[in-house]
């Protein structure tokens, strides 16, 4: 081997060691960077004319475990949806109130029942009659507030859908641009690893909104498709649209045309508004707007209906005739059994017993339609009202018979149980996500390995530098002859 050939080999070795040092330092400095894929440098033996010609520096390879990343992204979607569902169920618990809390709906019912008992012991007491009025107004007000809160939550969920659809479109547009940049980089022989890191982060954002599967395409590009079969991007990104509804009332539904679903090219993607995009936080927003909060409103409305019906009976108040409103009304009108949607937001105490509306509290004792006070010691109507609330009746005309308080307690228990179920689902999803995240991290940058590699690079560089020094010394010696 000639001295020039030896020198060429040593120089190529030093260049390779220098490039390796850059790759190792990049790996170490980005060990904790989200979305970073460990780099490896391809090195091959170079030859010219059948003779060894040092080291040939190849392409930089980005090393990631695509299978683990794919499963972790599905876990991202599951955990994102489960977390949003837990938040929703916790807020529902707050709307109805937890058992034992003074502002819980059960406490309002209990307070009203107790006020009737207290007034029955001294029906001539205007103070106790005023307490009955106040507790009745508290109960009606609690139902009004709960109903309004549910509709506000539905509007918030509707706005969340709009926000997430915008985020989805933005992220898909970024993936489309990054796909093009990566292909251009591959075609020009540049290193596209940094672009791939950025694309992985953007795709992770998509995965928290809807579950996705990543598919390889030519030129380093990828396509994204939901497990349900909805293609999000394969070349050009799909565009999804959603029109939010600023104000939502209890009677507004997706099937009834009052609310909108997601569209693609102006056409609804599915009757349920979500279709094959199901999964992730976007699905939870639809569940909140169209399922959970609608069911909660229906429960409130059945409670309001039950209250009105129990005290609108002539067996409780003999002064009431057919079609007359009782102590509780539908916005001042008698109950219409065919129009109970949103009743919890309209229920009100009859103005006939409210002095602030021109009524008299003695009608609580003597009857809603009484024209003059009766015997001040007559507690029969107050006792009948209390008994009506305590009587065992089915809720909504079906199911097991319970008292009013029993029905409200059952509803609270159902909501509490649904929240516990959501907590369990979130715990499972979080545990799975943690496991897959750790597995993904294990395939990432191992700083111990990288530091060992750096020592080897240093040794290789030093060996090649020593060879250069040796060749230089030999050439100098030859020049002296």
> Judging by DSSP bridges, how do beta strands 263-264 and 267-268 pair with one another?
antiparallel
Looking at residue 238, the DSSP 8-state letter turns out to be: P
Half-sphere exposure of residue 287: CA atoms within 13 angstroms, side-chain side: 17
Mean pLDDT of 290-311: 95
Instruction: Quote the CA–CA distance of 93 and 96 in Å, as a whole number.
Output: 5
Instruction: Quote the CA–CA distance of 411 and 96 in Å, as a whole number.
Output: 9
Instruction: Quote the CA–CA distance of 284 and 84 in Å, as a whole number.
Output: 6
Q: What digits encode the pLDDT tens for the residues 347-398?
A: 999 999 999 999 999 999 999 999 999 998 999 999 999 999 999 988 877 7
Residues 287-316, buried b or exposed e (16+ Cβ, 10 A)?
A: bbbbebbbebbbbbbbbbbbbbbbbbeeeb
Per the prediction, the chain carries an average pLDDT of 89
Q: What digits encode the pLDDT tens for the residues 98-131?
A: 777 888 999 999 999 999 999 999 999 999 999 9
Mean pLDDT of 450-459: 81
Given a contact cutoff of 8 angstroms between Cβ atoms, the answer to whether 129 and 364 are in contact is yes
Given a contact cutoff of 8 angstroms between Cβ atoms, the answer to whether 261 and 161 are in contact is no
pTM of the model: 0.86
Closest CA to 262 of 247, 250, 277: 277
Q: What digits encode the pLDDT tens for the residues 38-84?
A: 888 777 777 666 666 667 777 777 878 888 999 999 999 999 999 99
DSSP codes, 89-103: HHHHHHHH--TT-TT
**Helical residues (DSSP H) of 321-379, grouped into ranges:** 343-346, 363-366
Where residue 14 falls among pLDDT bands split at 50, 70, 90? confident
Q: How confident is the model at residue 398, as a pLDDT?
A: 72
Contacts of 123 (CB under 8 A, 6+ apart): 129, 365, 376, 377, 378, 379, 382
Q: How confident is the model at residue 100, as a pLDDT?
A: 75
């Amino acid at each position: 081997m000639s001295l020039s050939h030896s020198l060429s080999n040593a120089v190529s070795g030093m260049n390779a060691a220098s490039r390796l040092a850059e790759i190792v330092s990049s790996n170490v400095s980005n060990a904790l960077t989200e979305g970073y894929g460990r780099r490896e440098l391809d090195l091959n033996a170079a030859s010219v004319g059948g003779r060894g010609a040092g080291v040939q520096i190849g392409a930089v390879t980005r090393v990631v475990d695509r299978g683990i990343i794919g499963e972790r992204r599905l876990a991202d979607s599951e955990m994102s949806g489960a977390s949003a569902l837990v938040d929703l169920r916790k807020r529902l618990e707050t709307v109805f109130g937890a058992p034992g809390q003074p502002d819980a709906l059960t406490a309002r019912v209990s307070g009203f029942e107790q006020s009737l008992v207290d007034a029955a012991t001294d029906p001539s007491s205007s103070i106790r009659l005023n307490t009955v009025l106040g507790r009745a107004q508290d109960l009606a007000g609690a139902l009004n507030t709960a109903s309004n809160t549910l509709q506000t939550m539905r509007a918030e969920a509707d706005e969340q859908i709009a926000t997430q659809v915008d985020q989805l479109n933005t992220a898909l547009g970024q993936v489309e641009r990054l796909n093009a940049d990566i292909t251009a980089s591959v075609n020009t022989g540049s290193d596209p690893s940094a672009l791939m890191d950025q694309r992985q982060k953007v795709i992770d954002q998509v995965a928290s909104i809807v579950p996705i599967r990543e598919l390889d395409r030519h030129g380093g590009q990828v396509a994204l498709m939901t497990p349900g079969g909805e293609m999000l991007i394969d070349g050009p990104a799909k565009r999804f649209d959603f029109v939010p509804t600023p104000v939502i009332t209890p009677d507004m539904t997706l099937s009834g045309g009052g609310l909108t679903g997601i569209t693609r090219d102006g056409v609804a993607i599915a009757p349920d508004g979500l279709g094959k995009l199901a999964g992730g936080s976007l699905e939870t927003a639809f569940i909140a707007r169209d399922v959970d909060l609608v069911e909660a409103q229906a429960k409130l409305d059945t409670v309001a209906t039950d209250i009105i019906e129990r005290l609108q009976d002539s067996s409780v108040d003999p002064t009431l005739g057919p079609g007359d409103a009782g102590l509780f009304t539908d916005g001042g009108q008698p109950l219409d059994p065919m129009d109970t949607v949103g009743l919890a937001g309209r229920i009100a105490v009859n103005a006939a017993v409210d002095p602030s509306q021109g009524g008299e509290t003695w009608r609580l004792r003597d009857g809603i339609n009484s024209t003059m006070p009766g015997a001040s010691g007559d507690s029969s109507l107050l006792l009948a009202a209390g008994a009506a609330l305590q009587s065992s009746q089915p809720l909504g005309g079906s199911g097991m018979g319970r008292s009013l308080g029993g029905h409200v307690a059952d509803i609270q228990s159902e909501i509490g149980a649904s929240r516990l179920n959501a907590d369990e689902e979130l715990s499972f999803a979080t545990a799975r996500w943690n496991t897959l995240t750790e597995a993904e991290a294990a395939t990432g940058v191992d700083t111990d390995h990288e530091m060992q590699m750096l020592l080897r690079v240093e040794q290789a560089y030093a060996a090649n530098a020593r060879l250069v020094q040796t060749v230089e010394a030999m050439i100098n010696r030859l020049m002296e002859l």
